[in-house]
Amino acid sequence: MADNGNGLHPRPRVTREEWIDLNGQWQFAYDDADKGLDQRWQADAERFDRTITVPFPPESEMSGIGDTAYHPVLWYRRSFSASAPAGTRLLLHFGAVDYRASVWVNGDLVATHEGGHTPFFADITSSLASSGEQVVVVRAEDQPLDVTQPRGKQDWRPEPHDIWYDRTSGIWQAVWLEPVPDIYIDDFQLTPDIVTGSVKVEAILNRKLEGFFDIALTLKGERLAQQRIAISGDRFETVVMIPAAQNGVHRGHLYWVPDNPNLIEVAASLLDGASQTIDTIKSYFGLRSVGIGNGRFLLNDKPIFVRSVLEQGFYPKSHLTAPSADALKQEVELIKALGFNAVRIHQKIEDPRFLYWADHLGLMVWGEIANAYEYNALAADRLTREWLSAVKRDRSHPCIVTWVPINESWGVTDIAQRQDQQDFATSLYHLTKAIDPTRPVISNDGWEHTISDIIGVHDYTQHKEQLVDRYGTLEAIDISLGEMRPARRRLLLRPEDQRDQPFMLTEFGGLSRHPETGDTWFGYATAQTDEDYLAMMKALFDAIYDSPDIAGYCYTQLTDTQQETNGLYDENRKPKLPVEAIRDIIMRPSKAVPTEALDIARQKALRVNFGQVT
């Protein structure tokens, strides 16, 4: 068992011991005329005239192809050895295929899926050849000009322009096999409750069972709880109390926070009526809560200042696919090294292994979906279904603290004038809250909010004085929310929804260190020298930290991304300036959370003690 990196499971939040990696060399073919279905390419090995390295998209260098031209239909083929002994089944998993996929095993159509950022699987047991030699074929369709598809930052033009990048088509996340028993846990969700000191367990089975469910919770080897319940059917819920969390003055060591991301390990098993184990999985959760109150963002019911950075999740040689599993861990480490405690994954449902490392290393994450650019019934249906699938996949990750279904009115461009688009944004807010009531939701981050738990505003002014004038006090914020600025947009479409939500600058900065040349797009402002860059950056951050009423921010952005060279790191993840110089700016205490000064002083002391600062 291996993966494209360090052996980390491709679905690390819920794992079984055995899984088989199918990444690597596949046969490949373009089908620009879209004749493959009529000509039954799924049964014709001769049609595959190229080799591709999965899971890298064919537009990328690491795929071995590197063709960024329009190719709307892609075909993949590979053989593998596998069987399913009596009493077991074999599942074929795809982490993500952009945008529409059909999958055949040994000529049988075993799965179809629509949605370029969300996972799917097929039970291929009945299609397996008795010889043990199997063939899987995938047809992926990704129409480059169809802007009703949730596409995010993938450009519809032939070449990248402005803030849009090369496309990522076809298979772009892990492909893998998973042997399971005849009856197995199909979906497993964990929702902590710090008030009661418990965790709600929700499970769905692939079919009905008369038997039992066992669960054990441990923290760093210490047994916290164990429970068995009888089950009858194909789904159940139960609440597991954690006795150690009942001591109100001695439970902080159990909590998940960025500086101490404790994770409670979970071992869960299905048993038949005779108490014989059928299926066993491992998982984890963080005992933590997120919320809002008194104009602040709350973690475990305490104010925390959100220091976030915008992350495109794009790599120069592999595009939306990370070059390795190790690179996902390194990305989290790079973010934390600069002093950020949060990241906003921008217009992308990130690889689950990134979230795993955010869980384990202590990084808050804002989950955001790739948006479409046209509004109609089809676009609304596509975005809604993919968004719900993303929320389902990720809602048990402790690192996820906020949901963002729409960015800057993308896909609802006329939301300020059209009631149907306002209703759509509002419905996504309420639908998300219905599925996951435990996290804040932003209906439309940046401007033109309908209903949101956090008022996120995007403002790329490069002048400290303008930030102070607009957001330096609560009165200034109220005036700004009532006027059409910045970007000459209304910030609130329903002023009556103001209910003391936190106010945050959820995009700002965008500084580039390049001099201005030609027509190339570098950033929202450029600095000629390193000293100018740091001075401009410090002035913007000072304006934020001096305001007692800004609850957090998201700085644009972590890395350079193709022509958008406004990252703190370059596209190869090398810092443009000394990390400590940037960190000193980012780690300045905020007046919005006065106790931050003590927290930051303690963090700096710990870093010195561990030799991280010289």
pLDDT tens figures, 226-251: 999 999 999 999 999 999 999 888 89
How far apart CA 516 and CA 501 sit, in angstroms, is: 39
What is the reported pLDDT for 483? 85
Q: Specify whether the CB–CB gap between 173 and 96 falls below 8 A.
A: yes
Q: What is the DSSP string of 11-48?
A: STTSB-S--EE--EEEEEEE-TT--TTTTTGGG-GGG-
What are the residue ranges in the chain where pLDDT is below 50? 1-5, 609-611, 613-614
Question: d(Cα 95, Cα 99) in Å, to the nearest integer?
Answer: 12
Which helix (H) or strand (E) element contains residue 132?
Answer: none
Q: Residue 161's CB: how many other CB atoms inside 10 A?
A: 13
Non-local (6+) Cβ contacts of 383 within 8 A are 150, 369, 371, 372, 405, 411, 428
The end-to-end CA distance of the chain, in Å, is 41
- How crowded is the C-beta side of 343, counted as CA atoms within 13 Å? 31
**Amino acid letter for position 55:** P
Determine contact, residues 604/613, Cβ cutoff 8 Å. yes
pLDDT tens digit string along 52-90? 999 999 999 999 999 999 999 999 999 999 999 999 999
C-alpha to C-alpha distance for 226 and 205, rounded to whole angstroms: 21
Over the stretch 201-210, which tens digit does the pLDDT of each residue have?
999 999 999 9
Encoded amino acid at 29, one letter: A
Query: Could you write out the DSSP letters of every residue in 373-425?
Result: S--SHHHHHHHHHHHHHHHHHHTT-TTEEEEES-BTTTT-TTTTT-HHHHHHH
CA 201 to CA 362: how far, in whole Å? 23
The reported pLDDT for the residue numbered 2 is 37
Q: Say how far apart CA 95 and CA 116 lie, in whole Å.
A: 10
Phi and psi (nearest 5°) for 564? -90, 90
Reference 296, options 600, 545, 592; nearest CA is 592
Radius of gyration over every alpha carbon of the chain, rounded to an integer in angstroms: 25
Angle, alpha carbons 68-557-99 (nearest 5°): 35
The pLDDT mean for the chain works out to 94
Q: How large is the angle between the packed helices 579-586 and 530-545, nearest 10 degrees? A: 20
